């Protein structure tokens, strides 16, 4: 290695989760469907293979398969090449913003943040599978176990360089790509999970053909908590996303996403309401000190995605003249617009979607909510069922920002599909596409508060009819 590539580059990268996230084991237990990959201390971690896979995919998207193979290596039959990159596991930070590695003592694990992350199920989101009719699929309820938004991890990325202009350019292109693009890691990245941004970046280079370089290399830091011998890299204030559609909305009246387990309001009540809005904790940082913030009401990305998914299918059918009484009418999963924008898995064929959605946390203070009481009606008599009084907490005239990312804008998308997406977003902005629970009785209507849908590229992608 030294003889052919004597220049060693090292990056120390600190990621901060911008959303709930997790890399899962692939199996569950007796109470939950999915469990989180953890290190020997029982703490959540970013697996090196997962990080390397995401980085390779990102690099290949921008520079092509050939250059990705040259940097990350490959194995194809009897041929292959080693990767010139090495990616370590991402280790979690404690409440003092120190990456913790090795086996920790019980005293160290009592750190407020680490102790909370030792919980096998820090965040649990309940999900249901919907049919093409928009109703719950039989036995389609499942849950996802996640790590809260705001948690930080640090990893090392190293690179062996031969000193050529091409090799140096290869490394610099990788560093720039890492700096300029948020990463989505783990499960459900299209559903709002696993969005990460870099908060700190350090690097160093050693020439192993020189005595000074060899000494620096041998004395380099091997601890993620230290950046001795490394130089800080300035980060752009705004990391780039590919193409983003944004809509500023305000609820016309009440709305709710169900699934909450705790009564958050300070209101007095005779008993806890039966139906509570969804809410989650977040980790917040101030002066390199972490704390678990109060529970925030949440509009999950999956709810936004589900509503838009069905509406896009509807508009595409209208645009192409495909109606329900037509023998060629598409089921939602088979709709060309849905398969192109949201991806699909079919037998041995699969394709990832190009749209990614964002969770919406209600951080405004105060959040206006109220208790609404209902009577359950007997379907046969039309009268009130005795003892069937129930109540729910609804949120009042909340302001939210809906964001949809086109994470691979270079893929060709048919003009009718883009038009269907445009019309669905306009329906959401104009209050024709409600969100959340009980939309059939007037809840979940949102309307645009400023202008219509705003595109980060000034509508270049959505207006283009061919590959950009």
The model's pLDDT over 394-409, given as tens digits with 9 standing for 90+, comes to 898 899 999 999 988 8
Three-class SS of residue 297? strand
Confidence of residue 468 (pLDDT cuts 50, 70, 90): very low
Q: What is the mean pLDDT of residues 42-64?
A: 94
Query: Backbone phi, then psi, for 166, in 5-degree steps?
Result: -65, -45
CA distances from 64 to 5, 56, 70, 196, 242 (A): 23, 10, 10, 23, 17
Can you tell me the distance from the alpha carbon of 38 to that of 23, in angstroms, rounded to the nearest whole number? 9
Of 40-44, 134-138, 211-215, 463-467, least confident by mean pLDDT is: 134-138
Q: What is the pLDDT of residue 437?
A: 85
Question: What value does the mean pLDDT of the chain take?
Answer: 87
Contacts of 134 (CB under 8 A, 6+ apart): 310
- How crowded is residue 441: how many other Cβ atoms within 10 Å of its Cβ? 9
CA distances from 166 to 13, 58, 170, 421 (A): 24, 20, 6, 41
- Chain centroid to Cα 166, Å, comes to 34
Tally of residues, the chain: 468
Spatial contact of 141 and 128, defined as CB atoms under 8 Å apart: yes
Q: Peptide bond preceding 366: is omega within 30 degrees of 0, i.e. cis?
A: yes
Confidence of residue 305 (pLDDT cuts 50, 70, 90): very high
Spatial contact of 93 and 151, defined as CB atoms under 8 Å apart: yes
The full set of domain ranges for the chain reads 7-232, 243-463
Confidence of residue 443 (pLDDT cuts 50, 70, 90): confident
Q: Provide DSSP, 197-262.
A: EEEEEEEEEEETTSHHHHHHHHT----TT--TT-EE----SS---SEEEEEEEEESSEE--B---S
Residue 186 reports pLDDT greater than 60 = yes
In this structure, what token pair is assigned to residue 100?
């913790």
> Greater confidence, 375 or 206?
206
For strand 369-377 and strand 454-455, is the pairing parallel, antiparallel, or unpaired? unpaired
Q: What is the pLDDT of residue 14?
A: 97
For strand 446-448 and strand 454-455, is the pairing parallel, antiparallel, or unpaired? unpaired
Can you tell me the distance from the alpha carbon of 437 to that of 259, in angstroms, rounded to the nearest whole number? 10
Return the closest-CA partner of residue 179 out of 243, 99, 240, 97: 240
Q: Provide DSSP, 407-426.
A: S-TTS---HHHHHHHHHHHH
Q: What is the pLDDT of residue 182?
A: 87
Q: What is the mean pLDDT of residues 132-143?
A: 63
CA-based Rg of the chain, rounded to a whole angstrom? 25
Q: What is the pLDDT of residue 467?
A: 44
pTM comes to: 0.87
Of 174-183, 237-246, 277-286, 453-462, least confident by mean pLDDT is: 237-246
Residue 106 reports pLDDT greater than 50 = yes
Q: What is the mean pLDDT of residues 292-303?
A: 86
Please name the residue ranges forming H helices in 367-458.
415-429
Confidence of residue 466 (pLDDT cuts 50, 70, 90): very low
Of 33-42, 73-82, 226-235, 365-374, least confident by mean pLDDT is: 365-374
Fold for the domain defined by 7-232: Alpha-Beta Plaits (3.30.70)
Residue 391 reports pLDDT greater than 60 = yes
For strand 399-406 and strand 355-357, is the pairing parallel, antiparallel, or unpaired? antiparallel
Of 114-128, 131-145, 152-166, 348-362, least confident by mean pLDDT is: 131-145
Residue 216 reports pLDDT greater than 50 = yes
Q: What is the pLDDT of residue 364?
A: 77
pLDDT for 309-330, tens place per residue?
999 999 999 999 887 767 666 7
Q: What is the pLDDT of residue 415?
A: 94
């Amino acid at each position: 290695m030294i003889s052919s590539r004597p220049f060693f580059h090292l990056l120390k990268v600190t990621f901060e989760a911008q959303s709930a996230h997790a890399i899962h084991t692939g199996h569950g237990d007796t109470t939950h469907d999915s469990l989180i990959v953890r290190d020997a201390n029982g703490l959540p971690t970013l697996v090196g293979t997962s990080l390397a896979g995401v980085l390779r995919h990102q690099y290949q998207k921008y520079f092509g398969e050939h250059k990705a193979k040259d940097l990350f290596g490959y194995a194809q039959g009897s041929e292959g090449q080693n990767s010139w990159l090495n990616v370590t596991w991402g280790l979690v930070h404690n409440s003092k913003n120190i990456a913790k590695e090795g086996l920790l003592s019980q005293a160290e694990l009592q750190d407020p943040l680490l102790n909370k992350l030792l919980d096998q199920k820090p965040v649990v989101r309940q999900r249901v599978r919907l049919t093409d009719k928009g109703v719950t699929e039989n036995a389609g309820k499942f849950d996802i176990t996640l790590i809260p938004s705001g948690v930080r991890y640090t990893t090392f990325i190293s690179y062996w360089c031969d000193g050529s202009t091409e090799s140096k350019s290869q490394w610099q292109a990788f560093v720039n790509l890492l700096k300029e693009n948020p990463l989505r890691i783990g499960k459900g990245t299209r559903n709002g999970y696993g969005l990460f941004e870099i908060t700190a970046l350090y690097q160093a280079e050693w020439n192993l053909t020189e005595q000074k370089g060899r000494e620096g290399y041998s004395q380099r830091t091997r601890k993620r908590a230290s950046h001795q011998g490394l130089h800080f890299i300035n980060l752009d204030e705004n990391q780039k996303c590919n193409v983003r559609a944004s809509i500023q909305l305000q609820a016309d009246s009440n709305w709710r996403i169900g699934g909450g387990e705790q009564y958050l309001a300070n209101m007095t009540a005779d008993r806890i309401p039966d139906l509570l809005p969804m809410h989650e904790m977040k980790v917040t940082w101030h002066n390199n000190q972490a704390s678990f913030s109060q529970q925030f009401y949440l509009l999950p990305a999956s709810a936004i995605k589900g509503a838009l998914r069905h509406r896009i299918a509807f508009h595409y059918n209208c645009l192409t003249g495909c109606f329900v009484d037509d023998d060629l009418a598409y089921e939602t999963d088979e709709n060309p617009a849905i398969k192109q924008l949201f991806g699909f898995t079919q037998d041995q064929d699969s394709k990832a979607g190009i749209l990614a959605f964002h969770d919406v946390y209600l951080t405004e203070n105060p959040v206006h909510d109220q208790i609404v009481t209902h009577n359950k009606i007997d379907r046969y008599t039309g009268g009130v069922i005795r003892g069937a009084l129930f109540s729910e907490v609804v949120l009042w005239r909340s302001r939210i920002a809906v964001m949809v990312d086109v994470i691979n804008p270079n893929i060709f998308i048919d003009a009718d599909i883009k038009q269907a997406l445009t019309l669905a977003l306009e329906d959401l902005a104009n209050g024709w596409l409600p969100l959340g629970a009980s939309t059939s009785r007037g809840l979940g209507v949102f309307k645009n508060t400023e202008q219509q849908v705003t595109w980060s590229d000034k509508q270049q992608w959505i207006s283009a009819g061919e590959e950009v």
